[in-house]
């Protein structure tokens, strides 16, 4: 694949824009250390940056991490999402365990309630699919 002159120009503008953003001297963007600001600062479409110049995107995020000792915005948001999801999973595991215990208790209670004693006659159908419930004599 032969290099495209327009892409080389874009790459140069992206690198220059990254330098300006990291120096705090933004001229065409809000100065945030994000891909959106980098694309605006370089005068390229964000998708061009993400698709054609993914290596420069990664390079920019690495420079943000190293030069400013900051976690890039997208990584920070992902970390927050992971933390929330872990909390949700933990809560759901607790709820599932509580529900399993409740099912066991209800099954035991049902067994006790339906257990017939030797002196009680077996229930007779009262018509259709209804069976009368008789409490065992105590």
Q: Where are the domains of the chain?
A: 5-70, 73-108
Question: Are the C-beta atoms of residues 137 and 120 closer than 8 Å to each other?
Answer: yes
**Token pair of 64, please?**
């943000």
103-135 pLDDT, tens digit per residue, is: 999 988 888 887 754 455 555 555 667 666 766
- The structure's pTM equals 0.53
49-92 pLDDT, tens digit per residue, is: 889 999 999 999 889 888 888 877 778 888 999 999 999 999 99
Q: Which residues contact 134 (CB under 8 A, 6 or more apart)?
A: 116, 120, 123
The pair phi, psi for residue 5, each rounded to 5°, is: -55, -35
């Amino acid at each position: 694949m032969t290099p495209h002159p327009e892409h080389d120009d874009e790459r140069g503008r992206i690198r220059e824009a990254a330098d300006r953003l990291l120096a705090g001297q933004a001229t065409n963007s809000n100065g945030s250390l994000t891909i959106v600001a980098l694309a605006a600062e370089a005068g390229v479409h964000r998708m061009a940056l993400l698709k054609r110049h993914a290596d420069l995107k990664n390079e920019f995020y690495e420079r943000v991490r190293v030069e400013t000792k900051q976690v890039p915005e997208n990584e920070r948001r992902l970390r927050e999402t992971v933390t929330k999801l872990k909390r949700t999973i933990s809560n759901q595991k607790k709820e599932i365990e509580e529900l399993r215990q409740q099912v066991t208790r209800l099954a035991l209670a049902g067994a006790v309630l339906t257990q017939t004693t030797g002196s009680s006659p077996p229930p007779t159908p009262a018509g259709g699919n209804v069976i009368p419930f008789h409490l065992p004599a105590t």
